[in-house]
């Protein structure tokens, strides 16, 4: 009796999960079939779900020609910006988070309050003043890859949410670690770098994944700071997608090609998630985000 | 980590040095323009012809434009609508180009079509037209006309708006409440544009003469025009917020999903689709009042302006001159995606198909009746556009009455004009 | 830093000793570690914020300071009298009220499903996370195609049961469409919950099960309390994100049309979008900035309120004080 029940339960659960997955994946399925249609086929009535003839050539055109968009140029820019920013953010946020977690000082709670408050300040309010600062510093007309300086400069102080996150993480480590380091004659910075950072692997992974994904998909900042030749994929996908062979281009980018670029755009993110998901889970679990 | 920092710093220093070197040998001209109009190929082509100038190409983005302007470093050449010129010129953000034209290579004053006056403010020319269209020229689907038992309209004789609406209702095809084929669509599908261009035909203006007031509720023509579109929208014969198109109408029409599309001359270049090849006819710009002399309006004339803060006028103008008068202009003129603003470039479009012939015949006729509207030097057109769209949607949904819709728009825009004027005075 | 100074040198020389002491102090270490952040905060955040605060009292048009004058509190006063401001704030609050519980509940539900022994768990996990990776422009186009009144897939699907359904989802129920779009990409929240669940030792569940607790009781008395800190953290983040949401609204209402970016459908006009519209397309940068400050104050009030209530529902582990952090 019990076995039958458990079998039924498994069956039910599996079916339920498959149904859920289908619902979640339906928009993605739509993305793929749209990518495979010819631009004119989007205007037919009644709509066809599957294209009469799948246009796999779109995939080829996006990857192997520059006629749709400079895909690999965009990808190179996107990866440069996301990787460099991620590395800087992961380290600098850890520094500040470590300070907040491990040392007592007057004004600490005040500054931590500010860290939390800055999470709530809408970024749009600072855009133009920040632009003026960067413009005055003269870093907006530098050649590649220094044109990504605005990201590095905003990443160098760390991001509030990650500072908070690292603080939680470092606060959960035992006090004895530090005492041992002092006995070994380590300086503060070395204690941080050689003793605490190696223990923070999962936390670093989590930070990196989120920082990477957010930088990767942002298009508001790149639109503000970058010139066309250094532009990232997220912007190119919205503004600079053409139909190969059509010289005079439409007021709107052709949707099937946009979708095709979008699919390739996702590939690095999917890889990253696959590669890092185990650490990623651990990272959040060990922090426990207590208090 | 220290080492990395040092290396990074060094790199930065080197790069600063390099960029200064660049700056010494090459003049940089910043161009903010849409990528599909000022392409990477154009940049390459220009730089090959003019090795002493480097084009820094940016995507059009109003937030960036504002940030750059506020930082005192706006792009040298920008894409703007002619309607924005009075505001930009009045605020001294762009500069007159009259004196530069005489020294330039391509653009010649006696070659300009009258449409170029769209970029004039107080007698001075502030920019140039990329290309333009008589915006009420339309296209129709012959199959749909045959199906509805209608006679094909002539490409040179104008329909009246009433006829247009009548045709549109007959062309509308539904399955239940589902729209299989819409009767009519306008470019761009918003009420502000529809009012703006139709109003040009009545000889009245959106703004008072000095641009200090938006005049809607006291102009009976405005009310009549808006009511016309309001009724069509209510019947869902034209796309509107209560019945939006599922995708851009420009891509629905070639698929036979729209009976008539009033999109302007430029659209003819892409109006034929695979199933509709050879089945597209040209509609002359419809007339609001057929008893009055014929007028073919052109609005939303897009082109370029040069910033008043540009550091190197001559170099900026060379790029400007090249793009608006040089090889790219010729390329555009022969593509049929708009009418050139120079007399010498007219008639380069190929006319080997029936559609091509119809378009040419139609254009020749329309060119005799071209007129355009006015705008205010105190506000950019956007505020009128936003306000119209918002209140029209509310009116269509029944949240506000039709009369309230015009009153609201007028109040919102005029309040802004008054505020802007007052602050300008205070400063002085 | 301190490694070069030997204790012997310190004995002889008093000033050096002071320096040594200075470096030894925890306070110095603290400020040393946060110095980078502090520097960045002051130059790249505090300064721009101060500038933005000043701007909110002017009629700055966003482009040139030529005609800019101080106009006192009138931007703020106008905001309190503006019907659009009230309407869009209502939209934002409605979005937050709907999307936060829905997103978090779904994320928690999915995480709990995935925390069981299942065949192909990794595949499901990826499937649920995948939506967060789709670029926003593509997301908007997909949802536009699905939700369209005429040919949208959703209406066609409903028509199978209720023929001739032509509901204009995007115009009439725009905000709910945004909620659905947000809920669809709950993957980020899901993995955080999932990680939290996996951090709960299996023995605790087993012990409770042996005591005869039902599944619901185990969840109520074991799982949930241990998850509350993570939930609290997620609620806070969700509030901040939901209140500042505008990119999805802008791209979904403009998907596949040639209208300007800031022309949103009225049903999707959320507060930040209204503020941006004022800043960017009506040349009322000062007024728009004032609106954003009001938004910030609103977020701050809500966040403080939630953090005050946290002591009633957030359960803290006992070992909180063991770490280096003293609250």
Distance from CA of A278 to the nearest CA of B (A): 28
Last residue of a domain, one of A63, A81, A100: A63
Q: Is residue C160 part of a domain?
A: yes
- In the predicted structure, residue B267 carries a pLDDT above the cut 60: yes
One domain, residues C269 and C163: yes
Q: Report phi then psi at A207, rounded to 5.
A: -55, -45
Give me the CATH number covering residue C222.
1.10.3720.10
* DSSP classification of residue A40: G
One domain, residues C42 and C146: no
**b/e burial code for range C171-210 (CB count within 10 A of at least 16 → b):** bbbbbbbbbbbbbbbbbbbbbbbbbbbbbbeeeebeebee
**Closest alpha carbon within chain B to C146:** B246
**Closest alpha carbon within chain C to B428:** C67
Residue range(s) defining the domain that contains residue C33 = 1-55
Q: How far apart are CA B86 and CA A110, in angstroms?
A: 50
Chain B neighbours, 3+ Cβ pairs < 8 A: A, C
One domain, residues A123 and A170: yes
One domain, residues C40 and C110: no
One domain, residues C160 and C207: yes
Angstrom CA distances, B175 to A46, B137, B149, B231, B337, stand at 11, 29, 19, 21, 35
Q: Where is C137: in which H helix or E strand?
A: helix C136-147
**Closest alpha carbon within chain B to A43:** B252
**Closest alpha carbon within chain A to C295:** A122
All structural domains of chain B: 22-132+302-346 (3.40.190.10), 138-299+373-427 (3.40.190.10)
One domain, residues C160 and C188: yes
| Interface check B241 vs C, CB under 8 A | yes
Given an 8 Å threshold on Cβ–Cβ distance, is A99 in contact with C29? yes
One domain, residues C91 and C195: yes
Greater confidence (B35 vs C293) lies with: C293
One domain, residues C128 and C219: yes
- Which one of C64, C260, C261 has the shortest CB-CB distance to B69? C64
In the predicted model, what is the mean pLDDT of residues B56-84? 90
Given an 8 Å threshold on Cβ–Cβ distance, is A240 in contact with B1? no
One domain, residues A117 and A165: yes
Q: How many CB pairs under 8 A join A and B?
A: 108
Distance from CA of B63 to the nearest CA of C (A): 6
Chain A residues with beta carbon closer than 8 angstroms to that of B255: 40, 43-44
| Interface check B187 vs A, CB under 8 A | no
One domain, residues A208 and A151: yes
Q: Are C293 and A125 in contact (CB under 8 A)?
A: yes
Greater confidence (C122 vs B308) lies with: B308
The pLDDT assigned to A196 comes to 85
Chain A residues with beta carbon closer than 8 angstroms to that of B36: 240, 242, 249-251, 253
Q: Are B275 and B133 in contact (CB under 8 A)?
A: no
Read off the pLDDT of residues A236-278 as tens digits, 9 standing for 90 and up: 888 888 888 776 667 788 889 999 999 999 999 998 888 887 7
Given an 8 Å threshold on Cβ–Cβ distance, is B380 in contact with C256? no
Last residue of a domain, one of A32, A63, A94: A63
Chain B residues with beta carbon closer than 8 angstroms to that of A151: none
One domain, residues A14 and A76: no
Given an 8 Å threshold on Cβ–Cβ distance, is A239 in contact with B269? no
Minimal CA–CA distance to C107: which of C132, C87, C85, C88? C132
Read off the pLDDT of residues C35-45 as tens digits, 9 standing for 90 and up: 889 999 998 89
One domain, residues A115 and A240: yes
In the predicted model, what is the mean pLDDT of residues B417-426? 81
What secondary structure, in 3-state letters, does chain B show?
CHHHHHHHHHHHHHHHHHHHHHHHHCEEEEEECCCCCCCHHHHHHHHHHCCCEEEEEECCCHHHHHHHHHCCCCCCEEEEEHHHHHHHHHCCCECCCHHHHHHCCCCCHHHECHHHHHHEECCEECEEECCECCCCCEEEEHHHHHHCCCCCCCCCCCCEHHHHHHHHHHHCEEECCEEEEEEEEECCCCHHHHHHHHHHHHCCCCECCCCCCECCCCCHHHHHHHHHHHHHHHCCCCCECCECCCCCHHHHHHHCCEEEEECCHHHHHHCCCCCCCCCEEEECCCECCCCCCCCEECCCCEEEEEECCCCCHHHHHHHHHHHHHCHHHHHHHHHCCCECCEHHHCCCCCCCCHHHHHHHHHHHHHHHHEECCCCCCCCCCHHHHHHHHHHHHHHHHCCCCHHHHHHHHHHHHHHHHHHHHHHHHHHC
One domain, residues C250 and C285: yes
Q: Is the peptide bond before A145 cis (omega within 30 degrees of 0)?
A: yes
Last residue of a domain, one of A63, A91, A110: A63
Given an 8 Å threshold on Cβ–Cβ distance, is A125 in contact with C118? no
Q: How far apart are CA B420 and CA C59, in angstroms?
A: 8
Q: How far apart are CA A210 and CA A284, in angstroms?
A: 12
Minimal CA–CA distance to C146: which of B258, B246, A25, A54? B246
- Which one of B36, B252, B255 has the shortest CB-CB distance to A249? B36
CA triplet C248, C252, C254: central angle to 5 degrees? 120
Q: Is residue C64 part of a domain?
A: no
- Which one of C41, C133, C230 has the shortest CB-CB distance to A266? C133
Q: Which residues does chain A have with pLDDT short of 50? A: 1, 288-291
| Interface check B418 vs C, CB under 8 A | no
Q: How far apart are CA B237 and CA B256, in angstroms?
A: 15
One domain, residues A83 and A220: yes
One domain, residues C37 and C184: no
Chain A residues with beta carbon closer than 8 angstroms to that of B1: 91, 193
Computed over every residue of chain B, the mean pLDDT equals: 88
One domain, residues A56 and A141: no
Number of domains in chain A: 2
**Interface mutation vs chain A, best among B35, B256, B266, most A CBs within 10 Å:** B35
**Closest alpha carbon within chain A to C7:** A185
Read off the pLDDT of residues B230-263 as tens digits, 9 standing for 90 and up: 999 999 999 988 888 888 888 889 888 899 999 9
The pLDDT assigned to B199 comes to 92
Distance from CA of C85 to the nearest CA of B (A): 14
Angstrom CA distances, A223 to A76, B40, B42, B106, B403, stand at 16, 17, 20, 32, 40
Q: Are B59 and B32 in contact (CB under 8 A)?
A: yes
In the predicted model, what is the mean pLDDT of residues B422-428? 71
Distance from CA of C34 to the nearest CA of A (A): 4
Q: Is residue C128 part of a domain?
A: yes
Number of domains in chain C: 2
One domain, residues A58 and A110: no
| Interface check A70 vs B, CB under 8 A | yes
In the predicted model, what is the mean pLDDT of residues B351-362? 87
Give me the CATH number covering residue A101.
1.10.3720.10
Other CB atoms within a 10 A radius of the CB of residue C4 amount to 7
Tokens (6 digits) for C119: 């065949």
Read off the pLDDT of residues B217-237 as tens digits, 9 standing for 90 and up: 889 999 999 999 999 999 999
One domain, residues A151 and A24: no
Distance from CA of A56 to the nearest CA of C (A): 19
| Interface check C132 vs A, CB under 8 A | yes
Chain C residues with beta carbon closer than 8 angstroms to that of B248: 256-258
| Interface check C101 vs A, CB under 8 A | no
When mean pLDDT is compared across B199-203, B303-307, C194-198, the lowest value belongs to C194-198
Given an 8 Å threshold on Cβ–Cβ distance, is A240 in contact with B59? yes
Query: What is the block-wise mean pLDDT of chain C (327 residues), using blocks of 10 residues?
Result: 45 57 75 89 91 92 84 92 94 96 95 84 87 90 88 87 87 92 92 84 81 84 86 91 92 75 84 91 89 94 91 67 37
Chain C residues with beta carbon closer than 8 angstroms to that of B379: 283
- In the predicted structure, residue B4 carries a pLDDT above the cut 60: no
One domain, residues C17 and C146: no
| Interface check A248 vs B, CB under 8 A | yes
Chain B residues with beta carbon closer than 8 angstroms to that of A39: 251
One domain, residues A96 and A106: yes
Distance from CA of C125 to the nearest CA of B (A): 33
Which of C 203-262 lie inside 8 A of A, CB atoms?
A: 229-230, 232-233, 237, 240, 244, 247, 256-258
Given an 8 Å threshold on Cβ–Cβ distance, is B15 in contact with A141? no
Chain A residues with beta carbon closer than 8 angstroms to that of C305: none
When mean pLDDT is compared across B17-26, B40-49, B144-153, B317-326, the lowest value belongs to B17-26
Q: Is residue C62 part of a domain?
A: no
Q: Are B264 and B366 in contact (CB under 8 A)?
A: no
End-to-end Cα separation, chain B, in angstroms: 55
One domain, residues C45 and C191: no
Distance from CA of A111 to the nearest CA of B (A): 25
In the predicted model, what is the mean pLDDT of residues B155-169? 92
Chain A residues with beta carbon closer than 8 angstroms to that of C191: 277, 280-281, 284
**Interface mutation vs chain B, best among C36, C148, C149, most B CBs within 10 Å:** C149
Given an 8 Å threshold on Cβ–Cβ distance, is A28 in contact with C33? no
Tokens (6 digits) for B114: 């009258």
One domain, residues C16 and C100: no
One domain, residues A154 and A276: yes
- Which one of A175, A185, A262 has the shortest CB-CB distance to C324? A175
Q: How far apart are CA A88 and CA A91, in angstroms?
A: 5
One domain, residues A46 and A77: no
Q: Percent of chain B having pLDDT more than 90?
A: 47
Q: How far apart are CA A144 and CA A225, in angstroms?
A: 13
Residue range(s) defining the domain that contains residue A37 = 2-63
Coil, helix or strand for A174?
A: strand
Q: Are B56 and B28 in contact (CB under 8 A)?
A: yes
Q: Are C308 and C280 in contact (CB under 8 A)?
A: no
| Interface check A156 vs B, CB under 8 A | no
């Amino acid at each position: 009796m019990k076995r039958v029940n458990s079998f039924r339960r498994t069956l039910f659960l599996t079916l339920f999960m498959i149904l859920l997955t289908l619902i979640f994946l339906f928009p993605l399925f739509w993305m793929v079939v749209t990518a495979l249609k010819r631009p004119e086929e989007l205007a037919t009535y009644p709509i066809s779900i599957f294209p009469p003839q799948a246009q796999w050539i779109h995939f080829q055109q996006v990857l192997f020609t520059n006629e749709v968009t400079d895909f690999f140029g965009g990808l190179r820019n996107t990866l440069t910006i996301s990787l460099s920013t991620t590395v800087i953010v992961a380290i600098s946020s850890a520094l500040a988070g470590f300070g907040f977690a491990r040392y007592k000082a007057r004004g600490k709670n005040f500054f931590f309050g500010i860290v939390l408050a800055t999470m709530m300040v809408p970024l749009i309010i600072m855009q133009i003043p920040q632009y003026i600062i960067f413009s005055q510093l003269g870093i907006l007309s530098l050649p590649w890859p220094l044109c990504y300086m605005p990201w590095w400069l905003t990443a160098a102080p760390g991001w509030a949410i990650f500072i908070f996150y690292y603080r939680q993480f470092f606060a959960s480590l035992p006090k004895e670690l530090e005492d041992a380091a002092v006995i070994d004659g380590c300086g503060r910075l070395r204690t941080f770098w050689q003793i605490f950072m190696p223990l923070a692997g999962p936390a670093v992974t989590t930070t990196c994944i989120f920082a990477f994904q957010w930088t990767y998909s942002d298009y508001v900042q790149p639109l503000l700071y970058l010139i066309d030749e250094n532009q990232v994929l997220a912007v190119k996908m919205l503004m600079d997608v053409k139909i190969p062979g059509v010289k005079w281009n439409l007021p709107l980018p052709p949707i099937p090609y946009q979708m095709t670029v979008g699919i390739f755009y996702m590939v690095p993110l999917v890889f990253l998630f696959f590669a890092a998901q185990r650490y990623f889970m651990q990272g959040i679990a060990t922090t426990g985000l207590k208090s | 980590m220290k080492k990395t920092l040092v290396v990074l710093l060094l790199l930065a220093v080197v790069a600063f040095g390099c960029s200064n070197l660049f700056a010494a040998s090459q003049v940089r001209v910043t161009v903010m323009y849409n990528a599909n109009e000022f392409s990477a190929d154009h940049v390459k082509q220009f730089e090959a012809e003019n090795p002493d100038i480097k084009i820094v190409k940016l995507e059009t983005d109003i937030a960036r434009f504002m940030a750059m302007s506020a930082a005192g470093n706006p792009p040298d050449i920008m894409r703007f609508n002619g309607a924005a010129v009075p505001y930009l010129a009045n605020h001294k953000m762009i500069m007159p180009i009259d004196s530069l034209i005489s020294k330039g290579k391509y653009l010649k004053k006696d070659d300009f079509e009258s449409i170029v006056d769209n970029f004039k403010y107080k007698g001075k020319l502030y920019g140039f037209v990329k290309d333009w269209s008589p915006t009420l020229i339309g296209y129709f689907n012959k199959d749909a006309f045959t199906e509805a038992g209608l006679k094909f309209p002539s490409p040179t004789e104008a329909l009246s708006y009433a006829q247009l609406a009548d045709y549109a209702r007959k062309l509308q095809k539904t399955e239940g409440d589902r729209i299989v084929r819409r009767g009519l669509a306008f470019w761009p599908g918003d009420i502000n544009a529809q009012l703006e261009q139709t109003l040009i035909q009545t000889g009245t203006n959106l703004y008072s003469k000095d641009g200090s007031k938006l005049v809607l509720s006291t102009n009976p023509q405005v009310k009549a025009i808006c009511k016309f579109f309001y009724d069509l929208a209510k019947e869902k014969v034209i796309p509107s917020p209560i019945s939006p198109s599922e995708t851009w109408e420009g891509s629905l029409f070639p698929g036979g999903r729209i009976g008539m599309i009033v999109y302007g001359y430029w659209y003819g270049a892409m109006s034929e689709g695979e199933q509709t090849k050879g089945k597209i006819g040209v509609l002359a710009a419809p007339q609001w009042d057929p008893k009055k002399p014929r007028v073919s309006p052109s609005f939303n004339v897009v082109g370029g302006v040069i910033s008043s803060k540009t550091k190197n006028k001559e170099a900026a103008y060379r790029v400007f001159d090249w793009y608006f008068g040089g090889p790219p202009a010729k390329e555009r003129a022969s593509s049929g995606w708009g009418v050139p603003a120079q007399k010498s470039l007219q008639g380069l479009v190929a006319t080997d198909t029936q559609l091509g012939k119809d378009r040419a015949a139609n254009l020749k006729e329309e060119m005799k009746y071209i007129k355009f509207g006015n705008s205010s030097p105190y506000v950019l057109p956007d505020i009128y556009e936003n306000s119209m769209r918002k209140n029209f949607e509310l009116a269509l949904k029944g949240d506000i009455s039709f009369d309230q819709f015009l009153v609201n728009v007028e109040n919102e825009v005029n309040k802004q004009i008054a505020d802007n004027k007052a602050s300008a005075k205070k400063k002085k | 830093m301190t490694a070069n100074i030997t204790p012997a040198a310190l004995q002889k020389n008093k000033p050096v000793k002071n320096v040594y002491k200075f470096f030894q102090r925890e306070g110095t270490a603290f400020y040393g570690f946060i110095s980078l952040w502090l520097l960045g905060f002051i130059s790249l955040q505090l300064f721009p914020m101060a500038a933005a605060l000043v701007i909110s009292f002017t009629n700055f048009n966003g482009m040139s300071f030529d005609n800019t004058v101080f106009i006192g509190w009138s931007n703020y006063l106008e905001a309190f009298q503006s019907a659009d401001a009230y309407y869009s704030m209502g939209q934002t609050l409605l979005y937050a009220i709907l999307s936060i519980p829905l997103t978090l509940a779904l994320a928690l539900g999915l995480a709990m499903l995935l925390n069981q022994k299942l065949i192909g768990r990794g595949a499901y996990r990826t499937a649920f996370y995948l939506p967060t990776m789709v670029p926003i422009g593509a997301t908007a186009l997909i949802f536009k195609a699905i939700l369209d009144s005429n040919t949208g897939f959703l209406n066609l699907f409903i028509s199978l049961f209720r023929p001739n359904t032509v509901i204009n989802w995007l115009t009439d129920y725009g905000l709910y469409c945004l909620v659905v779009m947000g809920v669809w990409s709950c993957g980020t929240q899901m993995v955080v919950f999932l990680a939290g669940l996996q951090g709960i030792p299996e023995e605790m569940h087993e012990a409770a099960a042996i005591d005869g607790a039902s599944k619901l009781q185990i969840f109520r008395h074991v799982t949930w309390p241990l998850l509350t800190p993570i939930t609290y953290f997620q609620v806070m983040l969700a509030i901040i994100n939901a209140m500042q949401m505008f990119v999805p609204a802008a791209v979904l209402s403009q998907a596949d049309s040639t209208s300007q970016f800031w022309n949103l459908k009225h049903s999707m006009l959320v507060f930040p979008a209204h503020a941006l519209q004022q800043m960017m397309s009506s040349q009322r940068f000062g007024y728009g900035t004032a609106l954003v400050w009001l938004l910030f104050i609103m977020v701050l009030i809500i966040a403080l309120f939630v953090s005050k209530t946290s002591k009633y529902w957030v359960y803290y582990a006992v070992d909180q004080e063991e770490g280096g952090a003293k609250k």
